[in-house]
């Protein structure tokens, strides 16, 4: 009898816990029951066509979307699916739904989602409802010029949904948003007040009269992962993507061959805060600004590990154009290579924004007027950067007409100006150069290294050596030239400027000697570049261990800068070295940043 009360206590407590837990868990049980529903779609399926299995799959994706409820998945086998079988019903589209995940890339035999291969089993959502586009073997309209006749205005719409609306493993193609009024935006995918999750997609060959040939989002914060935008077009802005009023996250994106008659051949963002990680922009083109990308009007994108290559603009910003006083792009580990602009900023044009660059490289970019690599009209901060092999009329590497330009651990080499400022041209601004090297740059006029007009730049812990202008190689003006009729007065300290301090006698034409400048002496680079070869990327501007520039700088100027241009410790020994590279001792470590053209 003594056991009974204790047994009751031990029994009763778990029952109450079980009942309470069941009440709490019951909604989750219901949700789990919902997620067990999978609807099957196969264009060639026979059977009952009720979507219950591969053998009885729906043949039309629209049927599965109509049957699905929140928590369901739709599995779609390889094939071509169109929003409507009616060739004149151009307003039809595939709607994304809250809580419904749509997966393509199945062979039609899988029992587990992980067994699919979306790249092999090409699953196409096509706007070619009149069945006459020029397509590849998978039914994909590869280029927007391959659209024939009248296609769906929009292929997919993801408006009014959150991140639980999933589209994964498809090619979206052949949208034609060319209505005289709406719809004229977002031919491939259109989002209004939506944040769907978009993964493993190719968005190819779509056409929009106005904005967002591939994707239009306003407002919208979609999440994109592993998405390629290929050969899309817009008549105004954003050939690949047009984005306004959102904070989306993009990872592993490729933009190739997209174009816009206006701005942003690949991507156009406005009033948006975008996070973009791991991306390639290649061979995109804009009729106005930003061949690859435009960031405008209160846009503050954060770009990490992004490459801009072979993009072009018929105006400014061959790759990237930034404008708007409230735009604050932050770019980390970015490469601008072989981009072109008809006017300013072959790689980057910043005219109104505030741009922060770290670990950036500009090589073989060109423009027709100013700033072969970079044109800066407002605020630019660069830490750890390389500008090499760029060319233009004024400022082969950099043209700056800003009150705020600050460069630290930056290399200018092999740049060319057809007039003045082979490495850089500074006009009516007060740039700050810290631990910067100019060598191997060439100007057909004056200032093979740096040309200044009407302001007083500050130069410290820096090296100007073996640049070329019309006066020859290694002369004072070949390295640093100040405009005769609008003279500047550079303030120079802890630096080695060839031609400015021969025999320890400072030449006032160079500017103001603010102390501790080295007399003219070879800095002993690993390999001094030939300015006559510019535009080029030759030479090695790291210092030999016995260089007079070793331990010749001021530590105060690199406070808060822990690493040099190679990513090595910035301060080795008692004093910092001049230029962007720090000699590391007996074992010299470096991570090369220069790429071939």
Residue-level pLDDT at 205: 98
Residue-level pLDDT at 585: 79
Mean pLDDT calculated for residue range 75-88:
97
One domain, residues 275 and 421: no
- Contact predicate 333/307, CB 8 Å: no
The residue that leads in pLDDT, 49 or 456, is: 49
Mean pLDDT calculated for residue range 98-119:
98
In a domain, 588, yes or no: yes
In a domain, 533, yes or no: yes
One domain, residues 357 and 247: no
* Per-residue pLDDT tens over the stretch 20-72: 444 444 444 444 434 569 999 999 999 999 999 999 999 999 999 999 999 99
In a domain, 15, yes or no: no
One domain, residues 270 and 356: no
Asked if the model's pLDDT at residue 96 lies above 50, the reply is yes
Complete DSSP assignment for 452-492? EESS--EEES-EEES-EETTEESSHHHHEEE-SSS----EE
The answer to which of 12-16, 322-326, 574-578 has the lowest mean pLDDT is: 12-16
Mean pLDDT calculated for residue range 383-409:
95
Domain of 117 in residue numbering reads as 77-92+106-288
One domain, residues 152 and 281: yes
Asked if the model's pLDDT at residue 352 lies above 50, the reply is yes
Strand ranges for 10-152 from DSSP E: 38-41, 73-77, 79-81, 94-95, 101-106, 123-126
Residue-level pLDDT at 36: 67
The residue that leads in pLDDT, 264 or 2, is: 264
One domain, residues 357 and 279: no
pTM of the full structure: 0.92
Q: How many domains does the chain have?
A: 2
Tell whether the torsion through CA atoms of 559, 565, 567 and 572 is positive or negative.
negative
The answer to which of 131-135, 176-180, 308-312, 584-588 has the lowest mean pLDDT is: 584-588
* Per-residue pLDDT tens over the stretch 223-252: 999 999 999 999 999 999 999 999 999 999
In a domain, 50, yes or no: no
Mean pLDDT calculated for residue range 348-355:
93
Percent of the chain with pLDDT over 70: 92
One domain, residues 167 and 243: yes
288, 315, 340 - which closes a domain? 288
Q: How confident is the model at residue 196 (pLDDT cuts 50, 70, 90)?
A: very high
Q: How confident is the model at residue 593 (pLDDT cuts 50, 70, 90)?
A: very low
For tokens 């809250």, what's the residue? 98
* Per-residue pLDDT tens over the stretch 245-304: 999 999 999 999 999 999 999 999 999 999 999 999 999 999 999 999 999 989 999 999
Asked if the model's pLDDT at residue 386 lies above 50, the reply is yes
Residue-level pLDDT at 374: 98
Residue-level pLDDT at 10: 34
Asked if the model's pLDDT at residue 15 lies above 60, the reply is no
In a domain, 306, yes or no: no
Report which secondary-structure segment, H or E, holds 21. Answer: helix 3-35
508 Cβ contact list (under 8 Å, min separation 6): none
In a domain, 65, yes or no: no
Mean pLDDT calculated for residue range 514-537:
97
Percent of the chain with pLDDT over 90: 86
One domain, residues 529 and 383: yes
Burial, 123: exposed, middle or buried (Cβ in 10 Å; 0-12, 13-18, 19+)?
Answer: buried
271, 288, 305 - which closes a domain? 288
Residue-level pLDDT at 49: 97
Residue-level pLDDT at 180: 82
One domain, residues 521 and 443: yes
390 Cβ contact list (under 8 Å, min separation 6): 346, 347, 362, 363, 364, 365, 366, 372, 373, 396, 397, 415, 416, 535
The residue that leads in pLDDT, 469 or 586, is: 469
Beta strands 38-41; 302-309: pairing state: unpaired
Asked if the model's pLDDT at residue 537 lies above 70, the reply is yes
From CA 271, how far away is CA 18, in angstroms rounded?
52
Asked if the model's pLDDT at residue 191 lies above 80, the reply is yes
Which phi and psi angles does 367 have, rounded to 5°?
A: -145, 160
From CA 111, how far away is CA 40, in angstroms rounded?
11
| Mean pLDDT of all residues belonging to the chain | 92
261, 288, 315 - which closes a domain? 288
One domain, residues 274 and 356: no
Q: Quick one: CA torsion of 399, 400, 401, 403, rounded to 10 degrees?
A: 180
One domain, residues 146 and 276: yes
- Token pair, residue 407, equals 């460069």
One domain, residues 119 and 227: yes
Asked if the model's pLDDT at residue 182 lies above 90, the reply is no
Q: How confident is the model at residue 483 (pLDDT cuts 50, 70, 90)?
A: confident
One domain, residues 278 and 162: yes
Asked if the model's pLDDT at residue 95 lies above 50, the reply is yes
Residue-level pLDDT at 485: 77
Residue-level pLDDT at 586: 54
In a domain, 44, yes or no: no
In a domain, 45, yes or no: no
Residue-level pLDDT at 124: 98
């Amino acid at each position: 009898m003594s056991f009974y009360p204790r047994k009751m206590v031990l029994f009763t407590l778990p029952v109450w816990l079980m009942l309470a837990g069941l009440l709490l868990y019951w909604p989750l049980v219901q949700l789990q029951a919902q997620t067990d529903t999978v609807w099957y779609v196969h264009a060639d399926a026979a059977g009952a066509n009720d979507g219950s299995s591969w053998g009885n799959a729906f043949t039309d994706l629209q049927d599965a979307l109509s049957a699905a409820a929140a928590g369901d998945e739709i599995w779609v086998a390889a094939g071509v699916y169109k929003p409507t079988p009616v060739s004149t019903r151009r307003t039809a589209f595939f709607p994304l739904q809250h809580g419904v995940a749509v997966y393509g890339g199945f062979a039609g035999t899988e029992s587990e989602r992980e067994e699919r291969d979306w790249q092999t089993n090409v699953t196409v959502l096509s706007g070619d409802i009149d069945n006459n586009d020029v397509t590849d073997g998978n039914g994909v309209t590869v280029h927007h010029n391959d659209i024939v006749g009248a296609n769906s205005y929009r292929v997919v719409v993801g408006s009014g949904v959150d991140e639980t609306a999933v589209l994964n493993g498809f090619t979206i193609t052949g949208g034609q948003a060319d209505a005289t009024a709406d719809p004229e935006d977002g031919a491939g995918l259109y989002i209004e007040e939506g944040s769907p999750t978009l993964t493993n997609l190719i968005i190819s060959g779509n056409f929009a009269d106005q904005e967002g040939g591939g994707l239009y989002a306003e407002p919208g914060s979609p999440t994109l992962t592993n998405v390629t935008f290929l050969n899309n077009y817009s008549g105004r802005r954003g050939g690949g993507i047009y984005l306004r009023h959102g904070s989306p996250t993009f990872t592993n994106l490729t933009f190739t061959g997209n174009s816009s008659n206006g701005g942003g051949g690949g991507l156009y963002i406005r009033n948006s805060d975008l996070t973009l990680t791991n991306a390639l922009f290649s061979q995109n083109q804009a009729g106005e600004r930003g061949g690859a990308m435009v960031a405008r009007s209160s846009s503050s994108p954060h770009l990490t590990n992004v490459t801009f290559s072979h993009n072009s603009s018929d105006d400014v910003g061959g790759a990237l154009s930034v404008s708007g006083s409230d735009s604050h792009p932050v770019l980390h580990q970015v490469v601008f290579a072989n981009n072109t602009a008809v006017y300013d900023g072959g790689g980057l044009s910043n005219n109104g924004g505030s741009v922060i660059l770290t670990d950036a490289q500009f090589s073989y970019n060109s423009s027709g007027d100013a700033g072969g690599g970079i044109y800066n009209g407002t605020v630019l901060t660069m830490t750890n950067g390389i500008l090499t092999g760029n060319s233009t009329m004024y400022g082969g590497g950099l043209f700056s007409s800003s009150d705020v330009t600050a460069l630290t651990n930056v290399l200018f080499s092999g740049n060319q100006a057809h007039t003045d400022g082979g490495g850089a041209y500074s006009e009516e601004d007060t740039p700050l150069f810290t631990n910067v090297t100019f060598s191997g740059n060439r100007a057909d006029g004056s200032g093979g290294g740096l040309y200044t007009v009407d302001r007083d730049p500050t130069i410290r812990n820096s090296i100007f050596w073996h640049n070329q202008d019309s006066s020859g190689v290694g002369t004072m003006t070949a390295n640093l030239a100040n405009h005769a009729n609008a003279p500047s007065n550079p303030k120079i300290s802890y630096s080695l400027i060839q031609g400015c301090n021969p025999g320890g006698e400072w030449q006032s034409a160079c500017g103001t000697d603010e102390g501790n400048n080295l007399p003219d002496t070879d800095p002993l680079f690993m390999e001094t570049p030939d300015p006559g070869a510019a535009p080029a990327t030759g030479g090695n501007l790291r210092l030999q261990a016995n260089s007079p520039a070793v331990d010749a700088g001021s530590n105060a100027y690199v406070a808060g800068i822990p690493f040099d241009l190679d990513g090595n410790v910035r301060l080795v020994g008692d004093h910092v070295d001049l230029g962007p590279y720090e000699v590391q001792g007996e074992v010299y470590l470096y991570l090369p940043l220069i790429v071939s053209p």
